Amino acid sequence: MRNMDSKNFGLRSSDLIKALHNAGRMAGLSFNSREGAYKSALTTFGKFLKEEQGLRDLRKIDKEHIRAYGEHLAERIEAGTLAVDSAHNYISAMNTAMSISRGDDDLKMTAVKDFGIPERSGIAVENKAISSVEHRRIISGLNVRMSSIIELQRELGLRLKESCLINAKDCYKQALEHGKVVIEDGTKGGRDREVPITDGSQIEALRVAAELQGNHHSMTPSDLTYIQFQRDLYREIGRGVHGERHHYAQERYEQLTGVKCPVVAGIKHKERHNFIAKKLNISKSEAKQLDHEARMIVSQELGHGRIQITNSYLG
């Protein structure tokens, strides 16, 4: 009989990763067959908790840690360091191990709905963008700094970490002087990228953020680390906000092509070239080139490692 009040819920190890492995075995996950990937998946989850979140005890894991892990996996997919199918397996293994560890499903989350991770096909068939109504609802319950950070995500297509670590004062100046901003801090793999200023709402979002930032070097409060602030954000929001980047991608695609992207228009991915050709009265080859160029630009502006990842945003 396990002592649920002892470290790692009494899973026969004081080491968090080994405790996760033991939970996996209790659930019947095989580590000695082709399904041995579960062990690797749980090791990845455990290392994230220990190295990124500073945790050493499964009892201390809460929903904010799970959301942070989901965001981490989504970013790895975008950077091209993790396959979509693997991410689904990682989350499945995490859910199983945590359910066994805790004895409930209170922390169970889904790859697609909760984390904005693409379907296993890699092509979006369901629109994961946060709507204008939902966006207003989210920011209405936040303090001014947090709501400003979410606005930056939506207007500039930033990852959560990027919007927290951005030097809004510098970017506001860049936007006014050059009509574009360079995203440097918090980027995946340390790769800088440029985001064009195409609408006054972007300028306004940067202006508000620059004022709130004050004399500090970023939007993260001076008395908190990014990880601490991230947890506060997830706790206040109560959900993932990766859908703000989906919104940016979809709006930008429409700006570039003059038509809605497939997942918004309600058409299949394979029908997109005929759809564009008909809407714009151009040839299918012209439509194909336009679609490709737009996806390439969106990919670059979002900081993706591969153009294919735009399929999960645009359909």
Task: Enumerate the β-bridge partners of residue 180.
Answer: 196
The reply to whether 101 and 197 lie within a common domain is no
pLDDT given for residue 34 in this prediction: 53
- Residues 12-64 have pLDDT tens digits of 999 999 999 999 988 887 655 555 678 889 999 999 999 989 999 999 999 99
For residue 114, the model assigns a pLDDT of: 82
The whole domain housing 140 covers 132-242
Contact 39, 19 (CB under 8 A): no
CB 308 within 8 A of CB 295: no
For the chain, the domain total comes to 3
* Closest listed residue to residue 124, CA positions, set 226, 253, 16, 6: 253
Considering the domain architecture, whether residues 140 and 223 belong to the same structural domain is answered as: yes
Looking at the fold, whether 235 and 249 belong to one and the same domain comes out as: no
Report yes or no: 218 and 166 within 8 Å, Cβ to Cβ: yes
Residues of the chain whose pLDDT is less than 70? 30-36, 188-190, 305
Final residue of a structural domain among 67, 82, 115: 115
- The per-residue pLDDT for range 75-105, each reduced to its tens digit, is 888 777 888 889 999 999 999 999 999 999 9
Give the other-Cβ count within 10 Å of 151's Cβ: 21
Q: Write down the pLDDT at residue 182.
A: 95
Does 105 lie in the same domain as 46? yes
Domain boundary at 242, 275, 297, which?
A: 242
Together in a domain, 194 and 228: yes
Q: Mark whether 181 and 214 lie in a shared domain.
A: yes
Q: For the chain, give me the number of helices (H) and strands (E)?
A: 16, 2
For 70, 155, 302, 304, the CA distances from 183, given in Å and listed in that order, are: 22, 13, 10, 13
Does residue 225 share a domain with residue 258?
no
Q: Is residue 126 part of a domain?
A: no
pTM for this predicted structure: 0.83
Residue 2 has a pLDDT of 82
**Cα angle for residues 104, 92, 6 (degrees, 5° grid):** 40
pLDDT at 27: 86
Select from 199, 215, 242 the last residue of a domain.
Answer: 242
pLDDT for res 38: 83
CA distances from 172 to 113, 152, 309 (A): 33, 11, 29
1 located within any domain: no
Query: Which domain CATH number covers 209?
Result: 1.10.443.10
- Give domain status of residue 202, yes or no: yes
Q: Would you state the pLDDT for residue 36?
A: 63
Identify the pLDDT of residue 30: 62
Identify whether residues 21 and 95 lie together within a single domain: yes
